[in-house]
């Protein structure tokens, strides 16, 4: 029985239980990941991080949440009240919705009912996630606009441009996955990876997705929409209390959602690591949930690692990178993948496929070395142009004064 059919037999109350479980897991994951992020970043910066509230500071995030809820809820006078209140609600509701199509486990028994931990399986599951994300952006954009203040407006504008640009790259990186799995349903994509994970066979797609998912979630080094050094808090500058908490929640659940999608599409979903397939039947199949969580936590760690390592990009560099590097590269890669797919489907000989791959690799190498040499030449020309005597007085260089003294000695 396929996953879709298995889910189709669920009675209504099982779906309700699943939905409730997903919600609980997301909220708990947010609390834990806020704590985790602060601890990991602290370690990277030679600090200890929150360690006061609860054992190892575990419930620090909960305490912060309670504090936020008790703060005064301000609405600026210049704000558009309805939209101002609506924006955090849009952000916080849409972020949970993408989890509906993510397969969290293999076949399990829930209250005596055989099912999978996936709320629903639709033939266009991945597109559904993209659609939900694109609605989620409305929250950020509207928050920026409705605050009636300059910094949030700039943050909202940046964010809308950013998410649209990076959603194009993200969508293109998914095309190769669709071509190879022959489906857009998340369950089928996981099933198609039982031998090789797509992060190996479709490595360029994986890299492009991984970059664009950071751009899509407004996280460092792409957190230009809330760049604290330039825009105070960006789109949420004017928000306080629970409304701010909702944005906070949405940001972390979104990170979880893109990580879960990356796991599903490229890391084999709930499947065990290669060679550990026997663990998948442990605990009546529930052990697969653990594998899924391990992979999601891995992505989350990378998110934190990036934040701890990379400085923020400048806005124009960021857009240039999206439009002039990511999108063309993914278009070329789709062409290569599609050609390979057609070659293998029409039964081309192995040597033809290898020859084609080799030719593409050669072309890429030639192109990149040409670009590199052009860049070096330009850098050299720039350096030559820079050497000119400055027009304002500067102290003599030490080597020059030394020369003069040598001349005096010679005299």
Partner 1 sequence: MINFALEVGPTATPEAVMFWILAPIAVAAAAGMIFAKKAVHSALLLAWVMITLAIFYIAQDALFLGIVQIVVYTGAVMMLFLFILMLVGVDSSDSLVENIRGLRPASIVAAVGLGGLLVSLIGRATLGTDVVGLSAANSGGNVQGIAEELFTKYVWAFEVVSALLITAALGAMVLAHSSVIKSRTAQRDQSIARFRGASLANAAGLPSSGVFSRHNAVDVPALLPDGTPAPTSISKTLEARGDMLSSKPFELEEKEAEED
- Cis omega (within 30 of 0) on the bond before 102? no
- Residue placing its CB nearer to partner 1 in the complex, 142 or 227: 142
Helical H segments across 45-98, by residue range = 60-70, 81-97
Distance CA 218, CA 226 (A): 8
Min dist. Cβ of residue 133 to partner 1 (A): 8
Half-sphere exposure of 145 (CA within 13 A, CB side): 13
- Residue placing its CB nearer to partner 1 in the complex, 79 or 304: 79
Residue 196: phi, psi to the nearest 5? Answer: -120, 135
- Structure-derived torsion over alpha carbons of residues 33, 36, 41, 47, reported in degrees to the nearest 10: 150
Strand partners, 113: 110
Min dist. Cβ of residue 5 to partner 1 (A): 14
- Residue placing its CB nearer to partner 1 in the complex, 145 or 198: 145
- Residue placing its CB nearer to partner 1 in the complex, 163 or 245: 163
Min dist. Cβ of residue 17 to partner 1 (A): 20
| Residue pair 136/91 in contact by the 8 Å Cβ criterion | yes
Min dist. Cβ of residue 98 to partner 1 (A): 12
Task: Provide the 8-state DSSP code for 277.
Answer: G
Min dist. Cβ of residue 7 to partner 1 (A): 15
Angle, alpha carbons 156-160-162 (nearest 5°): 115
Residues binding partner 1 (CB under 8 A): 78-80, 83, 122-124, 127-128, 130-131, 133-135, 137-138, 141-142, 144-148, 153, 156-157, 160-161, 163-164, 167, 184, 314, 390-392
Min dist. Cβ of residue 183 to partner 1 (A): 8
Distance CA 104, CA 119 (A): 9
Q: Which residues contact 232 (CB under 8 A, 6 or more apart)?
A: 151
Task: Provide the 8-state DSSP code for 108.
Answer: E
Residues in the chain: 411
- Residue placing its CB nearer to partner 1 in the complex, 124 or 348: 124
Min dist. Cβ of residue 353 to partner 1 (A): 24
Min dist. Cβ of residue 293 to partner 1 (A): 28
Min dist. Cβ of residue 278 to partner 1 (A): 34
Min dist. Cβ of residue 235 to partner 1 (A): 11
Q: Is 204 exposed, middle or buried (0-12, 13-18, 19+ CB in 10 A)?
A: middle
> What are the structure tokens assigned to 195, written together?
């031998």
Angle, alpha carbons 310-311-315 (nearest 5°): 120
- Residue placing its CB nearer to partner 1 in the complex, 233 or 308: 233
Strand partners, 275: none
- Residue placing its CB nearer to partner 1 in the complex, 188 or 223: 188
Q: How far, in whole angstroms, is CA 249 from its chain's centroid?
A: 16
- Residue placing its CB nearer to partner 1 in the complex, 64 or 216: 216
> What are the structure tokens assigned to 249, written together?
């929640």
- Residue placing its CB nearer to partner 1 in the complex, 351 or 391: 391
Distance CA 314, CA 392 (A): 31
| Residue pair 268/195 in contact by the 8 Å Cβ criterion | no
Distance CA 248, CA 5 (A): 37
Distance CA 354, CA 39 (A): 47
Q: Which residues contact 109 (CB under 8 A, 6 or more apart)?
A: 115, 284, 285
- Residue placing its CB nearer to partner 1 in the complex, 13 or 56: 13
Min dist. Cβ of residue 323 to partner 1 (A): 13
- Residue placing its CB nearer to partner 1 in the complex, 128 or 244: 128
Q: How far, in whole angstroms, is CA 138 from its chain's centroid?
A: 18
């Amino acid at each position: 029985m396929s996953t879709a059919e298995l889910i189709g037999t669920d009675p209504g109350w099982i779906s309700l239980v699943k939905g409730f479980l997903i919600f609980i897991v997301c909220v708990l994951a947010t609390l834990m990941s806020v704590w985790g992020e602060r601890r990991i970043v602290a370690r990277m910066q030679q600090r200890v991080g929150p360690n006061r509230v609860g054992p190892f500071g575990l419930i620090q995030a909960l305490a912060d949440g309670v504090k936020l809820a008790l703060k005064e809820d301000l609405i600026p006078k210049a704000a558009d009240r309805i939209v101002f209140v609506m924006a955090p609600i849009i952000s916080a509701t849409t972020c949970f919705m993408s989890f509906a199509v993510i397969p969290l486990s293999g076949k399990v028994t829930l209250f005596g009912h055989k099912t999978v931990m996936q709320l629903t399986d639709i033939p266009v599951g991945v597109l559904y996630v993209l659609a939900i994300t694109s609605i989620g952006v409305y929250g950020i954009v509207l928050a920026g606009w409705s605050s009636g203040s300059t910094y949030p407006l700039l943050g909202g504008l940046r964010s809308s441009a950013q998410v649209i640009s990076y959603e194009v790259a993200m969508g293109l990186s998914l095309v190769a996955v669709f071509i190879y799995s022959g489906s857009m349903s998340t369950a089928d994509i996981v099933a198609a990876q039982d031998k090789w994970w797509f992060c190996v066979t479709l490595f360029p797609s994986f890299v492009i997705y991984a970059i664009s998912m950071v751009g899509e979630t407004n996280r460092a080094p792409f957190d230009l929409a809330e760049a604290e050094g330039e825009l105070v808090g960006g789109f949420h500058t004017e928000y306080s209390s629970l409304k701010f908490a909702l944005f906070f929640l949405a940001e972390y659940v979104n990170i979880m959602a893109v990580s879960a999608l990356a796991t599903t599409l490229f890391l084999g979903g709930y499947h065990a690591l290669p060679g550990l397939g026997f663990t998948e039947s442990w605990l009546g199949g529930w052990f697969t949930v653990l594998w899924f969580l391990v992979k999601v936590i891995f992505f989350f760690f990378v998110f934190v690692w990036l934040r701890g390592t990379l400085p923020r990009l400048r806005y124009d560099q960021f857009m240039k990178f999206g439009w002039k590097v990511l999108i063309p590269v993914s278009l070329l890669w789709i062409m290569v993948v599609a050609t390979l797919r057609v070659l293998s489907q029409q039964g081309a000989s192995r040597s033809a496929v290898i020859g084609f791959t080799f030719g593409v690799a050669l072309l890429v190498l030639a192109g990149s070395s040409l670009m590199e040499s052009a860049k070096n030449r330009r850098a050299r020309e720039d350096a030559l142009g820079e050497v000119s005597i400055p027009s304002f007085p500067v102290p003599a260089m030490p080597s020059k004064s030394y020369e003069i003294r040598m001349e005096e000695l010679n005299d």
